């Protein structure tokens, strides 16, 4: 079974909210800079849907 990343199946509104929360938590030191990889994946998924973040 092929694995699918959450950014492909989540609705755009949920991706945008997740993007915001991850960025906020990185800025506040709650999440590490390693989470920027997830930010990049969310940005790519949004762009594929025609929405720049």
Structural domain including 37 reads 6-48
Confidence band for 28, pLDDT divided at 50, 70 and 90? very high
- pTM summary value: 0.73
Query: With bands split at pLDDT 50, 70 and 90, how would you rate the model's confidence at 36?
Result: confident
The answer to whether position 29 is within a domain reads yes
The verdict on residue 1 lying in a domain is no
pLDDT of residue 10: 81
- All residues at 6 or more sequence positions from 33 whose CB lies less than 8 Å from its CB, including other chains: 26
For residue 53, tell me if it sits in a domain.
no
Domains of the chain: total: 1
- Of the candidates 45, 53, 44, the residue with the CA atom closest to the CA atom of residue 11: 45
50 φ/ψ sector (left φ>0, alpha ψ -120 to 50, else beta):
left
* pLDDT value at 2 more than 80: no
Q: Is residue 13 part of a domain?
A: yes
Is residue 22 assigned to a domain?
Answer: yes
Residue 27 is assigned to a structural domain of this protein = yes
Residue 36 lies in a domain: yes
Q: Which residues contact 12 (CB under 8 A, 6 or more apart)?
A: 46, 49, 51
Which one-letter DSSP state was computed for residue 34? G
């Amino acid at each position: 079974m092929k694995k699918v990343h959450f950014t492909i199946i989540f609705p755009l509104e949920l991706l945008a909210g997740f993007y915001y929360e991850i960025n906020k938590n990185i800025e506040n030191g709650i999440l590490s800079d390693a989470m920027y990889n997830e930010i990049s994946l969310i940005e790519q998924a949004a762009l594929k849907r025609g929405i720049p973040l």
